[in-house]
Amino acid sequence: MKLILLGPPGSGKGTMSERLTKDFKLKHISPGEIFRDEIEKKTQLGQEIRKYMEGGGLVPDNLTNEIIKLEIEKQKKFLLDGYPRTIGQAQALSKVVKIDKVILLEVSEKTAIERISGRRICSQCETPFHIKFIPPKKTGICNKCGGKLMQRKDDAPASVKKRFQIYNEQVKHLKEFFQRKKLLRRIDASSTPKEVYHEIQKAVKDS
Ligand code: AMP
């Protein structure tokens, strides 16, 4: 199974990808995570990537495509989260591998902003939580690894608005691209995590 999960910030993408990868035994591939890891390790690649990420823009396609291609080639079953983000990336991907389905989570900007304000992420393993919807067992502490929970810098409302705008601009083209290939499955992501996940499971299992 080779899946792509698309959705704006606040659509529940992190939570849904965690459940999907566990239940369907998929390798989670996320450029954002790979990039943050490279920056933390202070590699040469990390140095180069940092300037794009800090400016709030995207890392250039050629660099991103190459990194993701290396990851994909190692895996038989995976979930791509945060890739492709541009048409150039979608085209490059289609030359490397045959994708089974593209799950698109749809949610309004208002709902997304409400959700994001309560979002927390583990500073060590990146497991997502939400102070209201998915609270950790112990306040401020990750259930999985005991790491400290934090709020991402780009989860501030102004930053979220900008990310939403960029996402809307890009997703238009991706939607068309994958719809033409009959791979797109649209999911209403405004209900509870349980309901949304149920719909995703149905979409993944349907042929
Ligand atoms: P994310 O963790 O998905 O929110 O990504 C964090 C940052 O990593 C983005 O703001 C971009 O700078 C970079 N990034 C993540 N995915 C991609 C991608 N597919 N193409 C280019 N840059 C990306």
Average pLDDT rounded to a whole number, residues 77-97: 95
List, in sequence order, every residue forming a beta bridge with 138; answer none if it has no partner.
141
**Residues lining ligand 1, Cβ inside 6 A:** 31-32, 35, 52-53, 58-59, 64, 82-83, 85, 89
**Homologous superfamily of 2-205 in CATH?**
P-loop containing nucleotide triphosphate hydrolases (3.40.50.300)
pTM (predicted TM-score): 0.84
Q: How far is CA 167 from CA 79, 96, 108, in A?
A: 19, 24, 12
* pLDDT tens for each residue of 14-29: 889 999 999 999 999 9
Q: Mutate which of 45, 85, 91, 127 to test ligand 1's pocket (most atoms within 8 Å of Cβ)?
A: 85
Q: Are 11 and 106 in contact (CB under 8 A)?
A: yes
Q: Where are the domains of the chain?
A: 2-205
How many CB atoms are closer than 10 A to CB 67? 19
- pLDDT at position 203: 95
Residue-level pLDDT at 152: 80
| Residues carrying an active site annotation | 13, 85, 119, 152, 163
pLDDT, position 115: 83
CA 44 to chain centre: 24
Q: Which two tokens stand for residue 56?
A: 């709030």
